[in-house]
Structure 1
Amino acid sequence: MSTVNPSVRAKYDLRSSLEILKAAQGQLLYTDEPVDPHAELSGVYRYIGAGGTVRRPTRVGPAMMFNNVKGYEGVQVLIGLLASRERVGLMLNEAPEKLAFLLKDAVNTPVAPVTIPREEAVCQEVVYRGDEPGFDIRKILPAPTNTEEDAGPYITIGMAYASDPETGESDVTIHRLCVQGADEISMYFVPGRHIDAFRMKAEAAGQPLPISISIGVDPAIEIAACFEPPTTPLGFDELTIAGSLRGQAVELTDCLTVKAKAIANAEFVIEGELLPGVRVREDQNTNTGKAMPEFPGYTGPANPSLPVIKVKAVTHRRNPIMQTVIGPSEEHVSMAGIPTEASILGMVENAMPGKLLNVYAHSSGGGKYMAVMQFRKSVASDEGRQRQAALLAFAAFSELKHVILVDEDVDIFDTNDVLWALNTRYQGDVDTITIPGVRCHPLDPSQSPEYSHTIREKGVSCKTIFDCTVPFHLKDHFKRAEFKEVDARRFAPSLFE
């Protein structure tokens, strides 16, 4: 990687995005009220703006900055940065309904990251080394718990960055990280994740895997990190997507204590090693049997055996901002869902150009389980191709469970409109296509043999297509009522400001 002079580059980091939100009405809320990071902080935001699959009552609202976190003087905690598609659009300078197209193009125009000298990396303005007396990550970094049942404090939006010990290829991704002690963090991997592949290679050789966890970064990185195969196969560094989104390379810097790189303008960086042959029970400190709330809206069970990161150092910016998310909130929908949409758009566009108009990875599926696909039938021979598009969507994103197909006159981002199509353009006996016995995502509690005798093992699901498109030969019979086009701003100007 090359070295650049940061003085000639635009600054894209968490703080520059916060400045954008400050200038937008109702997008960022500050509070000086003292808050406990143990359950209380997330409990507050559940009502303010969590959204997603969080238990009702909840809503989509502003991001929130807590200025007075008990036990952590001088550290702010930010939550909800990505918990609104509108807010993501503001920070990426794109209309919310066009974000998937923006990401699809970014995948195809990657910009490789660059390395800057340590002395220019603001993430290392303050340094705590693990071999210093009294080192304790729990006293440095205010990792919250989502609920009182959590296995422990969680780092929920840390950018894990590591390299393949054989090829040197790097990957960035987000994992469930539970603080287990003064210098230990457990790491949960869904099967198939790339850093886990790196870890297993290192472990097979009896070696630790150097890793960094960057917290509080440019949201373009947080979104890009959530792409998955086949769009980003093993060896594809998702930081190149973030570089494309910003039109310039992401800046990295060398860690101080391990042979790894970290995001140079992160608010916090944890440096460490994934230890070979070491495992811990996720809830060893609380014995709750629970992990933390996950994107389907349920609290996942504590894992009995997880790999361990031995923390070697923690560095941070002056007056750092700890960023966190609520597991099942709208933030997960933004991070997982928009890359899912981009992957589906890319695959279907390659197969049948111009037919798939847009995709929405719906909030109710956490951005992973459900996609609403807007398909255009132009000629009689297009009939049936909408179902082919749905099959391609399943191939583009293996964790997808349900696809709802609608016509071009349906607003896929308006759930009422989608349900209108389901109620007026769908017959269950002819418009439902089921594909049983397909691998999906292990966090869906209905995917188990206990739920259905048709499911042989946990993580296998019946994938379903709901075809709510009008048969082409009947399109003239399903035209929506036409209203006169008028300029409503003359009558209610305040509503259009």
Structure 2
Amino acid sequence: MLAEIIERFGDTVVIDEPVSKRLEVTRHLLRHMDRPVLFTDVEGWKVAGNVWSTRDRIAAYLGIGIGEIIHFMADAMENPSPYRVVEDAPFLKNSTEDFSLTELPIPVYYPKDGGQYFTSAMVIAKDDNGFVNVSFHRMMVRDEKTAAIRLVPRHLYAMWKERAERGEELDVVVVVGNPIHLLLAGAVSTAYGVSELEIASRMSERAFGRPLEVVEVDGIPVPVETEFAFKARITPELVDEGPFVDITGTYDYVRKQPLMVFERMYHVDDPIFHALLPGGYEHFMLMGLPKEPQIYASVKRVVPKVHGVRLTEGSGMWLHAVVSITKQHDGDGKNAILAAFAGHPSLKHVVVVDEDINIYDDRDVEWAVATRFQADRDLVIVPNARGSSLDPSATKSLTAKWGIDATKPLDRKEEFERASV
């Protein structure tokens, strides 16, 4: 449970005074960006944020080093494992249809937000063939029982669209308050037919020695470790969704998105609502970390020795990356740049460095650029490429991508070595 997880962290900030869910939660989370914050009274509820805001904290919980996170996730994506169905779960202890979304501790994060927003929520759905999908979706509360859900054209969108075209609704379960292996699995991009629950189960086996346990709620498997679960249905009706602050810290615009109807709420005793700060470090981690294995796999197809990939915090862990390789041929650096763009199409800027550079140290990366890069021979520019819709500088999602090859020339490697004792 989330309370037990937070108790393990020695740097949690506890806010005991009453806090409003409108903007005040945000102020505290912004003040302590890299530390977990536990609110004991957000209009009568407990709320936690910034829980998974650093690589160190995520790695420590999983029992691995920060450089191993990428391989830990890659293994789970390549080797999904069956989950275990059990008969009961703590969140089933409290069940009611008598609830109001507007009275829950769902924050209004920023002044221009369209309303209260679910931000850490994952949606679990099953298609007609029994495939179970788990994915993150922001949801803007409209009234006591409805919200607008943002669906991008991926798996849940395909499941909803198939039903909507028949005039039908899609039954789902919304879960809030989950441990990191579930959150990371919910953010991966995988082939349709590979369930994120099985990816989470593989992570659970490796980190804790046991498969993921789920309980069925009206035929939909729900992880037993969740704090809140909501039975809901996504309707064919479209309504306004937005504005909303996304990962770059800028406002996304208003769109027509599906209407969601909430029917029943479940929660554990003394639950903690997970408030994921839009544009905060925790948002970066949960959205960016699952993309690093994709970049790694793409680069490894063209350069055999790839040592690490880091999406940088300054870019929201979305638009900029650093890749560490060992060159075998001149030109490997440029091939790595192009492969990184292929592995994460939203990527806008990548720096490729040698294995002696610490990709988690911005000064070390900048030193490599300063001493091993010349713009007239080492800069790669790809104009008018499809980029990220989250980049406000892009034009209709078209962007100029650029890569820096900050690796040493193979025939002059000794000239670029740093002095050491």
TM-score by length of 1: 0.81
Q: Please state how far the C-alpha of 1:350 moved relative to its aligned partner.
A: 4.4
The aligned counterpart of 1:481 is 419
**Contact 1:43 1:147 (C-alpha < 8 Å) held by counterparts:** no
Give distance in 2, aligned partners of 1:15 and 1:219.
Answer: 13
Give distance in 2, aligned partners of 1:163 and 1:412.
Answer: 39
CA distance 1:331–1:242, shift in 2 (3 Å): same
Give distance in 2, aligned partners of 1:15 and 1:123.
Answer: 14
Give distance in 1, aligned partners of 2:288 and 2:110.
Answer: 24
- 1:313-352 residue CA offsets vs partner (Å, 9 max, x unmatched): 1111111000011111111221122211112223333444
Q: Does 1:202 align with 2:163?
A: yes
Give distance in 2, aligned partners of 1:169 and 1:187.
Answer: 21
Counterpart among 449, 460, 464 of residue 398 in structure 2: 460
Q: Where in structure 1 are there 5+ consecutive unaligned residues?
A: 1-12, 50-59, 284-290, 449-457, 484-497
The residue correspondences of 1:411-426 to structure 2 (distance < 5 A) are 411-426=358-373
**Contact 2:302 2:335 (C-alpha < 8 Å) held by counterparts:** no
Q: Where in structure 2 are there 5+ consecutive unaligned residues?
A: none
Counterpart among 16, 29, 40 of residue 45 in structure 1: 29
Helix, strand or coil for the counterpart of 1:313? strand
Q: Please state how far the C-alpha of 1:444 moved relative to its aligned partner.
A: 0.8
Helix, strand or coil for the counterpart of 2:157? helix
Helix, strand or coil for the counterpart of 2:345? coil
Q: Does 1:357 align with 2:307?
A: yes
Q: Does 1:68 align with 2:41?
A: yes
Q: Does 1:160 align with 2:115?
A: no
The residue correspondences of 1:150-189 to structure 2 (distance < 5 A) are 150-165=113-128, 167-189=129-151
Q: Does 1:108 align with 2:70?
A: no
Give distance in 2, aligned partners of 1:212 and 1:335.
Answer: 20
The aligned counterpart of 2:100 is 136
Give distance in 2, aligned partners of 1:164 and 1:426.
Answer: 50
Give distance in 2, aligned partners of 1:317 and 1:152.
Answer: 26
- 1:115-170 residue CA offsets vs partner (Å, 9 max, x unmatched): 222xx1111211121xx5xx42222x2101111221111110111111223x3212
The aligned counterpart of 1:255 is 217
**Equivalent AA in structure 2 for residue 151 of structure 1:** G
**Contact 2:380 2:402 (C-alpha < 8 Å) held by counterparts:** yes
Give distance in 2, aligned partners of 1:237 and 1:113.
Answer: 10
The aligned counterpart of 1:225 is 186
Q: Does 1:281 align with 2:240?
A: yes
Helix, strand or coil for the counterpart of 1:281? strand
**Contact 2:303 2:325 (C-alpha < 8 Å) held by counterparts:** no
Give distance in 2, aligned partners of 1:107 and 1:422.
Answer: 33
Give percent identity, aligned residues only. 27
Helix, strand or coil for the counterpart of 1:405? strand
Give distance in 2, aligned partners of 1:226 and 1:308.
Answer: 22
**Equivalent AA in structure 2 for residue 48 of structure 1:** H
More strand by share: 2
Helix, strand or coil for the counterpart of 1:371? strand
Helix, strand or coil for the counterpart of 1:68? strand
Give distance in 2, aligned partners of 1:206 and 1:103.
Answer: 38
The aligned counterpart of 1:145 is 108
**Contact 1:421 1:468 (C-alpha < 8 Å) held by counterparts:** yes
Helix, strand or coil for the counterpart of 2:175? strand
Q: Indicate the RMSD between aligned Cα atoms, in angstroms.
A: 1.6
Give distance in 1, aligned partners of 2:386 and 2:346.
Answer: 8
Q: Please state how far the C-alpha of 1:39 moved relative to its aligned partner.
A: 0.5
